[in-house]
Amino acid sequence: MRITFYLKKLAISQLILHTEANKFDINAQNNIAVYWGQNSVEIAHKSWRNYASGVKHVYGPTLLDVCKDPNVDIVLISFMNNFPGNRPPLTSKIFQNTTTSTISTTTTMGKRHKSYTAKMDKISNVPTISLVNGEYSTRHTSMLRQQELHINLCQQKYHKKILLSLGGESGNYGFQNSKEAVCFADWLWYMFGNGTHTGNECPNNKYVKGHTLGKNGKPHRSHKPFGDVILDGFDLDIENHEYPSTYYIDFAKKLRKNFKDSPKEFFLSAAPQCLYPEENMQEILDSDEVFFDFLFIQFYNNGKECNANTNNFNYEIWIKQYAMKHGKNGEGGEEKFPKLFMGLPADSSKAGAVNGYIQSRQQLVNKIGTVLSLESKLGNKHYFGGISLWEASLGYNNYDLSDKDGDINYIQAVKNALNRAENYSYSGDSNDGEDNDGNNSESTGSKVESTTLWKWFAIAVIVAIL
């Protein structure tokens, strides 16, 4: 009986440890952040989800598909590219009164999916989320209910951090003054965060005027795009010059204040271009009043000046000029620094990046090694957080880094490179597809994954028997 008791206790403890191991670790240096929502290319390759069956899949991965991937740690819903929404569009024609979105009938695994057409709201003067299948305003529409379910599963079951990315390459966004920025921060907190009111500074906030609180004292789910779910934070991908960047400081400070008043942990991130000083966001980056948990630095589409696949890769500048100067003390008194992510395109197509694509496993491993070597020389404060990728559909459709053992999509290959980078010496970039020890970079990872599966199968059998 005692042996049985201890075996059962051991099996349960192992299962608990496995669950803990799957949880997000902000201090890890092998995290992968993926932008999702645009499906930049229609997938012409066999579906990554149904590869063995040979089924074609043309719309790319759903949010839940990405969250099920153990290689992904952070998902950025992209984009909210029309805000704060109190004025007509300036340059973009995408936000015109009403639009329709039609999804064709498809057949997957023998199941027929009915086509439908959805009429969108009038969205020219309200904050708008623009996803691949349409633009959405602040109502909880039927087409967003699936995202509510997916986000909940992403967070609760798969332990992913889900952030809403604001801005992007195109759109009508920015602030004309400080009050507008502060009030919009309150609106975001009300709609996507843990807010139960519109803020003392904006008692008649025009963005939520007429919205009523539910019986639980929180915003009514019909007034929140993703219903009752609460996101894990917000990302700033500011790429326009329409309005002064100064007011983003007020916006971020207000969000941080709201974060502090909530028991749930929230994150604030930014996605600057790699050139330093940064063209669009330097004011907020220089501010001592704003702390970013993550920087998803875009080391691509900047020519030879700072791209990751060039000799001018300037990660060291971002450590010295930004990360080292913006540390702070955590709640426990520990020193905390922003986590810097090497932002890469997940494909070489125009939808991915005009330039900056890393196309060999060896070059990728060496580049990560360069980063880790720099950190070691500069005090080993673990500034590096991992790699961010633009974007999900590109990554799952790209098999450039596959090896002789089978097809491996780009996202999985990047994770393998992160996991293995510390095991090699680095003499500079190489286009060789082999690691320095002559082994394919994914082969050991596959063996480890297979061993892990057998381990947990054995534990499950023990628990069942006991």
Q: What is the pLDDT of residue 90?
A: 35
Q: Which two tokens stand for residue 124?
A: 């020219």
- For the chain, helix, strand, coil in percent to 5 are 30, 20, 50
Is residue 77 within 8 Å of residue 66, measured between CB atoms?
Answer: no
Q: What pLDDT does 40 receive?
A: 76
For position 224, what pLDDT does the model report?
79
Does residue 79 fall inside a structural domain?
yes
Residue 13 included in any domain: no
Contacts (Cβ under 8 Å, ≥6 apart) of 384: 29, 339, 340, 341, 342, 371, 372, 375
Q: Evaluate whether 367 touches 313 at the Cβ level (below 8 Å).
A: yes
Residue 17 has pLDDT above 60, yes or no: no
Structure tokens at 312: 């001018």
What pLDDT score was predicted for residue 455? 53
For residue 375, what are the domain limits?
A: 28-443
- Residue 198 token pair: 């519109």
Quote the percentage of the chain above a pLDDT of 90.
44
pLDDT exceeds 90 at position 118: no
The mean-pLDDT minimum among 11-25, 55-69, 106-120 falls in 106-120
List 135's β-bridge partners, or say none: 130
Cα–Cα dist 269/140, whole Å: 25
User: pTM to 2 decimals?
Assistant: 0.78
Residue 177's closest CA among 202, 209, 208? 202
What pLDDT shows up at residue 379?
86
The neighbour count for residue 330, using CB atoms within 10 Å, is 9
Average pLDDT over residues 133-156: 82
For residue 134, what pLDDT band results from cuts at 50, 70 and 90? confident
> Which of 260-269, 325-334, 456-465 reaches the highest mean pLDDT?
260-269
Q: Supply the pLDDT for residue 114.
A: 32
pLDDT surpasses 70 at 123: no
342 occurs within a structural domain: yes
Question: Helix, strand or coil for residue 173?
Answer: strand
pLDDT at 227: 85
Q: What is the pLDDT of residue 316?
A: 96
d(CA 63, CA 153): 10
| Residue 167 pLDDT | 94
Instruction: Return the higher-pLDDT residue of 455 and 317.
Output: 317
Most confident of 14-28, 128-142, 219-233, 278-292: 278-292
If one compares 92 and 67, the residue with the highest pLDDT of the two is 67
Question: Which CATH number do you get for residue 247?
Answer: 3.20.20.80
Does the pLDDT of residue 78 top 60, yes or no?
yes
- Burial category of 322 from C-beta neighbours within 10 Å (exposed 0-12, middle 13-18, buried 19 and up): buried
In the predicted model, is pLDDT for residue 93 greater than 50?
no
Residue 296 has pLDDT above 70, yes or no: yes
Q: Return d(Cα 33, Cα 156) in angstroms, integer.
A: 18
Q: Tell which residue, 374, 379, 359, has the closest CA to residue 429.
A: 359
In a domain, 18, yes or no: no
Whether residue 386 is predicted with pLDDT greater than 90 in this model: the reply is: yes
The overall average pLDDT reported for the chain is 75
pLDDT band, residue 433 (cuts 50/70/90) = very low
pLDDT > 50? residue 343: yes
pLDDT digits (tens, 9 = 90+) for 186-212: 889 988 998 776 555 565 555 544 445
Residue 453 lies in a domain: no
Q: Residues in the chain, how many?
A: 466
Residues 123-143 have a mean pLDDT of: 69
Which range (8-12, 175-179, 296-300, 364-368) has the least confidence? 8-12
Q: Return the pLDDT at 14.
A: 47
Assign 436 a pLDDT band (cuts: 50, 70, 90). very low
* Local confidence band at 106 (pLDDT 50, 70, 90 cut-offs): very low
Mapped onto helix, strand or coil, the DSSP state of residue 46 is: strand
- d(CA 129, CA 85) in angstroms, rounded, equals 11
The number of domains in the chain is: 1
In a domain, 248, yes or no: yes
Tokens 């779910």 found at: 229
CA distance 465 to 440: 39
Residue at 449 is within a domain: no
Check whether 108 has a pLDDT greater than 80.
no
pLDDT of 57 over the 80 cut: no
Residue 251: inside a domain, yes or no? yes
